[in-house]
């Protein structure tokens, strides 16, 4: 179970939101790059970065901040938030981003997924599904997609998508536990690799998610729980990644998966 720390950027700063509500934010550091360095020193193998401003506007407001993170780190960085065009995907991949996460555009412009998968590997193009009560929400979680989460997943699977980042919005940032049942139901129906996201609060949440590996859940993005130091990162990652030959093999293997 790969653990991926999240860095959300708003107004150039590293923040965390509660249930994606922009008026409920907490600033952790003024420079997101510094946060990325901290997670890397804590032995993170991948970083998940979201441009929250872009999620609302569709414009890469924090592009330079993200470029700074990518150029600083020696591990893969996946980026999401407002990526709705081929040109934007190209810009991110050109600066060294390993995976690009397509969210709203998977609903509003699914043909973009077809075009991207013609040009790039499925390991570089990931779809993000952020669902509330089983219904994906788009444009910074401000609008409903009007379909079921698994329906969107199956549609993306037919187009060639191999991995989906699944977030249960009702749990995100609440520090009350992961949306285990919603994630389980989604993974069972989707039939793709799943990165779980939203609500992880303790090592018990991770133990529960680990039981979903048989359904394709092989990684988890953690945000507020790490920022609020609910559990020590080094011990956490050691326990859930033991068995992997991390130091010699895993980082390079992950890079190959992301960039092949």
- Select from 102, 39, 43 the least CA-distant residue to 69: 39
51, 130, 149, 168: the catalytic one is 130
Is position 8 annotated as part of the catalytic site?
yes
Distance CA 217, CA 193 (A): 6
Alpha carbon distance 121, 99 (integer Å): 10
E-strand ranges in 36-145 read 47-51, 77-80, 99-102, 125-132, 135-138, 143-144
Could you tell me if residue 243 is left (phi over 0), alpha (psi between -120 and 50 degrees) or otherwise beta? left
CA distances from 35 to 69, 82, 102 (A): 9, 21, 23
Contact 184, 208 (CB under 8 A): no
Q: Give the SS3 label for residue 125.
A: strand
Cα 7 from Cα 51, distance rounded (Å) = 9
CB 221 within 8 A of CB 197: yes
Residue 178's nearest CA partner among 168, 188, 190 is: 168
Q: Are strands 21-29 and 13-18 parallel, antiparallel or unpaired?
A: antiparallel
For helices 111-119 and 149-159, give the axis angle rounded to 10 degrees.
40
List beta partners, residue 2: 219
- Residue 130 designated active-site: yes
- Positions marked active-site: 8, 130
């Amino acid at each position: 179970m790969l653990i991926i720390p999240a860095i959300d950027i708003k107004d150039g700063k590293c923040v965390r939101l509660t249930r994606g509500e922009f008026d409920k934010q907490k600033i952790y550091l003024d420079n997101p790059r510094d946060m990325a360095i901290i997670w890397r020193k804590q032995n993170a193998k991948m970083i998940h970065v979201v441009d929250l401003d872009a999620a609302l506007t569709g414009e890469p407001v924090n592009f330079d901040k993200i470029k700074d993170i990518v150029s600083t780190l020696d591990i893969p960085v996946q980026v999401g938030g407002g990526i709705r065009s081929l040109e934007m995907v190209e810009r991110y991949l050109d600066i060294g981003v390993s995976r690009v996460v397509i969210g709203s555009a998977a609903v509003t412009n699914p043909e973009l997924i077809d075009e991207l998968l013609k040009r790039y590997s499925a390991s570089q193009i990931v779809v993000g599904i952020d669902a509330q009560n089983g219904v994906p929400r788009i444009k910074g979680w401000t609008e409903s997609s009007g379909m079921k989460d698994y329906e969107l997943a199956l549609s993306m699977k037919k187009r060639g998508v191999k991995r989906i980042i699944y977030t249960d919005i009702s749990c995100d940032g609440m520090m009350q536990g992961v949306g285990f049942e919603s994630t389980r139901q989604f993974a069972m129906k989707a039939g793709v690799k799943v990165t779980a996201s939203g609500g992880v609060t303790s090592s018990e949440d991770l133990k529960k998610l680990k039981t979903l590996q048989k359904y394709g859940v092989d990684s988890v993005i953690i945000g507020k729980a790490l920022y609020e130091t609910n559990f020590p990162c080094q011990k956490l990652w050691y326990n859930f990644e033991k068995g992997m030959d991390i130091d010699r093999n895993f980082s390079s293997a992950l890079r190959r998966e992301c960039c092949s």
